[in-house]
Amino acid sequence: MPRVDSHSFSSFNENDSLKNTNNAINIRVDSKTGLSVLEKIVPIHRGLNEIAILSKLNQSNFNSYPAMHGYEIIGNHMKITCQYIKGRTLKQWLEKSGDRQRLINVFPLIFENAIRALFALHDAGVLHLDIKPENLVIDECYNVYLIDFSNSITYDEKHLIKETVGTFKYLSPEMMLEFHRVDYETDFFSLGKSLLEVICKNETRITQELLGTLLRVCQIDPIKRKNNMKDLRKTLA
C-alpha cells in the first residue's frame, strides 16, 4: 500500500498490509445513495479521537466539515467513511500561479467564509488544533470546509492538553509555551497564519482594512486576540 499524506487522494486495497501506513484515502460512489464518499484509513488511536469529534459534530448545526457516515476497525487501523467535499485544499490552490491569482481575486470572500466556519465549529464546542492550508478545503463556490479532526478536542477537554499538538509552522504562541491556555483563539491564530500565506505567496496587496483584520487574527497576545475575535464576530453578525 502506498504511503500518503493526510489529504492526498490515493486508492487502497483492504487486503494490503496497513502496518506502515499513516493515512490512506479512497473516494468511491455509494451504491445506495449514488453520492461520492471518502474512505480514510488511520491508526486506531487517531481514528478513535476523530470518530468522537465527528460524532459530536454530526449532532450539531455545524456543516462546514465532511459529515461522518460510518466506521469500522481493520486490525490496528480504522476506516472512517465521510461525505466527500468536492474541492481543493488551500495548499493545493497555492501550488499553481494561475490558481493563486484566482484565489487572491476572491480572498475577501474566502477570508470571511473561513472565519465563519471556525466560529461555527467553536459554537459546536470543538477546538480543531491543527488548522493549516492542508486542512482547509475550498469548493467551487469558495465555501470553506475544515477537515482532519484527529488532533481536535471538545472545549471541555482543553485543560487536558499537556503537550504540543498541531503543525509547528502554524502553532499559536500559547500552544508552544503554555498548553493550559489553549482556547478558541488558538485556532484563530493558526487560521490567520494559513491565510497570510495567500498574500505572501502572491506578493500582492489587499485593502488596509482587510490586512488589519487579518493581523488582528494573528495577534501574539491571546487575550487581545480573543477580544479581536469578539469584535470580528459582531462585525459578521
Instruction: Note the pLDDT of residue 227.
Output: 95
Question: Tens of pLDDT along 118-158?
Answer: 999 999 999 999 999 999 999 989 999 999 999 999 988 87
Instruction: Note the pLDDT of residue 204.
Output: 60
What residue ranges define each of the domains in the chain, with the CATH number in brackets? 24-83 (3.30.200.20), 87-236 (1.10.510.10)
Question: Tens of pLDDT along 22-63?
Answer: 567 899 998 888 889 999 999 998 899 999 999 999 999 999
Q: Are 226 and 185 in contact (CB under 8 A)?
A: yes
CA angle 130, 134, 136 (to 5 degrees): 80
Nearest CA among 157, 136, 155 for reference residue 145: 136
Residue 79 pLDDT > 90: yes
Instruction: Note the pLDDT of residue 102.
Output: 82
**Length, in residues, of the chain:** 237
Cell of 145: 470546509
Instruction: Note the pLDDT of residue 78.
Output: 93
Give pTM, 2 decimals: 0.85
Q: Please name the residue ranges forming H helices in 173-221.
A: 173-177, 184-202, 208-217
Q: Which distant-in-sequence residues (6+ apart) come within 8 Å of 153 by Cβ?
A: 53, 126, 127, 129, 160, 161
Instruction: Note the pLDDT of residue 73.
Output: 93
pLDDT category, 16, cuts 50, 70, 90? very low
